[in-house]
Amino acid sequence: MNTSRGIVLKLVSAVFFAVMSALIRYLGVRYPIGEVVFYRSAFAIVPILLLYAWRGELAATVRTERPLGQAGRGALSIVGMFCNFGALARLPLIEANAISFTSPLISVAFAALFLKERVRIYRWSAVTVGFVGVLVVLAPHLSGDELAIATASAASVAGVIYAILGSITNAGTMIQTRKLTQSETTSSIVFYFSLICALAGLVTWPFGWIQPTGVEFAVLACIGFLGGMGHVLLTESYRYAAASVVAPFDYTSMIWALLLGYAMFGETPTAMIVIGSAIIAAAGLFVIWRERQLALGRRRDAEDVQRAR
């Protein structure tokens, strides 16, 4: 364990994902989502294979004992990626980013429903607070004389719908991943995620892709490379530090989203978006803190049992 290294890797991965999101925002709605998904996934495979080949773990990367489980997670990931990219192309970076961070909160509810985990009042309270934060973020879309989302632009409405659906789907992916880690290596999960999403993106080619310019092709390649490296660094961070230690640093991507949104697109977040983002982050951090406390409690109980013997 090397906690400092784990935190640094997590921070760098957050930067990579934030820049990737900004580049997707840069391409905007002009590019078909399927085309962006293909480049994001196809170019992500390159750093993944290079790293694990260098470490002599390539065989473990392509080996799987649960191909149907990988396919199921891949199907959820396809929907999630399409929705996430659709949201990024249509919403300010900080807003899309804030809504996406409800996924860990939704996964708490999914864990209770599908994994039959016992979820106490503390985590349910955090979930409730997190969704209040979402309502605060979405308040500008619900304002106006009619107090209806119809007052916003069509692109903005579509972006909100994409973001919410993406967050729900990503929560389902988290639950599926937890099941897969019981038998599958992390490298194989990341590899098949990228492969399946690349194939799904490629299927959309007959429906009208755009021929990218040299600059746009470089942007698409960077999106894939940053996504792949972000995944690799994210995975590596958990090798060196406990998940409960590095997980809170995910929320630094909100800061990067705010800065990149302003620097690249002149996006100035409203007070409601900043307040809602802070509420969502606080709720997520509370869930992480609570999980850490429970883990420490279980460890102490196990040590007491050992001493009693």
Q: What are phi and psi of 207, to 5 degrees?
A: -90, 10
Q: Which residue has the higher pLDDT, 253 or 1?
A: 253
Mean pLDDT of the region 22-28 = 93
Length of the chain: 309
Q: Which residue has the higher pLDDT, 4 or 202?
A: 202
Between CA 92 and CA 150 the distance in angstroms is 18
Q: 0.85 cut: is pTM over it? A: no
pLDDT digits (tens, 9 = 90+) for 258-298: 899 999 999 888 888 888 888 888 888 887 777 777 777 77
Domain-by-domain residue ranges, the chain?
A: 19-308
What is the dihedral angle through the alpha carbons of 290, 291, 296, 301, rounded to the nearest 10 degrees? 100
Between CA 153 and CA 230 the distance in angstroms is 33
Axis crossing angle, helix 121-138 with helix 103-114, rounded to the nearest 10 = 140
What is the dihedral angle through the alpha carbons of 134, 258, 16, 20, rounded to the nearest 10 degrees? 80
